[in-house]
Amino acid sequence: MNIENMKFIQNFKKIANDAWLKGWHERNGGNITYRLTQEEVSGVKGIINDDSEYTPIGVTVKNLANEYFLVTGSGKFIRNMTVCLEENAGLIKVDEKGENYKIVWGLINGARPTSEVTSHLMSHSIKKEKTKGTYRVIMHSHTTNAIALTFVLPLDGKVFTRELWEMATECPVVFPGGIGIVPWMVPGGAPIAEATGKLMKKHDVVIWAHHGMFCAGETLDLTFGLMDTVEKSAEILVKVLSMGGKKQTITSQNFRDLAKDFNVNISEEYLI
């Protein structure tokens, strides 16, 4: 079977293109990774090349031993994922210790996995543990409005969560776990991966101040939808602040009523 016809590849290209059209991925900005299912790994067995060298991940992710990921390439443009996937993305395999990875398909002509591969794998590891393996996607986007807010709001996850929940009624239903904030850090290494991973224990959404957003989810569609919902809410907040700020809003009691009717758990820490 041609890998390009496989459903997960088609879904990956679809959300990459949708995210590009949203304006979240200028030049080589942002990166997406997907952990393959057992069936998908079996499906690609015939085309993978096991000969490449291992590269250190930079952190240890024991529970990802022998897992396969579809990853975008370092310096590659999200808008080109639909043009030629094997030039711009590839499959990597993690070794049995969870310390190294190797490229087994794609990333041709000397391309490397995303510069944020350490943050992605760290977050995958934490989500796999926390969700008993149901989460498979990490997406990092340069979402304009969420970034803009990191210049204005205090860099406090409780403040971001509450402000963004208030901007759209469905928000606490879509991200009841709230948002974590990483203060500005040098991207691309183990320290920012550890900081992001720590927040991923509690949240599906982590914002990197003055840089972008990380979202985690079960499927490519759900993860894109989460990113889209948070960014839409951030856009409303930017408009509200530009019009002079809130004159009325959704109250803590409104949120409690919503939680009851929609059967979601909303932590009281956001409802003070």
**Nearer of residues 11 and 115 to ligand 2HA, judged by Cβ:** 115
211 is an annotated ligand-binding site residue:
yes
Question: Among 4, 67, 87, 116, which one carries the catalytic annotation?
Answer: 116
Q: How far is the CB of 50 from Zn ion (least distance, A)?
A: 31
Q: Tell which residue, 16, 34, 33, has the closest CA to residue 25.
A: 16
Cα 118 to chain centroid distance, Å, stands at 13
Site string for Zn ion, 153-192 (x = CB under 5 A): ----------------------------------------
Q: Tell which residue, 160, 156, 124, has the closest CA to residue 140.
A: 124
**Nearest-angstrom CA–CA distance, 145 and 239:** 10
Q: Are 33 and 138 in contact (CB under 8 A)?
A: yes
Q: How far is the CB of 212 from Zn ion (least distance, A)?
A: 5
Q: What is the DSSP letter of 37?
A: P
Q: Tell which residue, 101, 97, 129, has the closest CA to residue 114.
A: 101
Cα 52 to chain centroid distance, Å, stands at 27
In 65-189, which ranges are continuous DSSP H helix? 85-88, 117-130, 144-149, 157-166, 171-174
**Nearer of residues 133 and 187 to ligand 2HA, judged by Cβ:** 187
**Nearest-angstrom CA–CA distance, 225 and 11:** 13
| Residue 115 partner contact from Zn ion, ligand 2HA, none using kind-dependent CB cut-offs of 5 to 8 Å | ligand 2HA
**Nearer of residues 75 and 154 to ligand 2HA, judged by Cβ:** 75
**Nearer of residues 157 and 212 to Zn ion, judged by Cβ:** 212
| Residue 31 partner contact from ligand 2HA, Zn ion, none using kind-dependent CB cut-offs of 5 to 8 Å | ligand 2HA
In the block, tokens 């979202």 appear at: 215
Residues in contact with Zn ion, total (CB under 5 A)? Answer: 1
Catalytic status, residue 87: no
Among the listed ranges 32-40, 122-130, 205-213, 227-235, the one in contact with Zn ion (CB under 5 A) is: 205-213
**Nearer of residues 212 and 217 to Zn ion, judged by Cβ:** 212
Q: Provide the binding-site residues for ligand 2HA, judged by CB under 6 A.
A: 28-31, 115-116, 140, 187
Q: Are 136 and 219 in contact (CB under 8 A)?
A: yes
Q: Is 212 in the site for Zn ion (CB under 5 A)?
A: yes
142 is an annotated ligand-binding site residue:
yes
Amino acid at 209: A
203 is an annotated ligand-binding site residue:
no
Q: Are 23 and 144 in contact (CB under 8 A)?
A: yes
Interface contacts to Zn ion, rule CB under 5 A: 212
Q: So which residues are the catalytic ones?
A: 116
Annotated binding site: 140, 142, 211
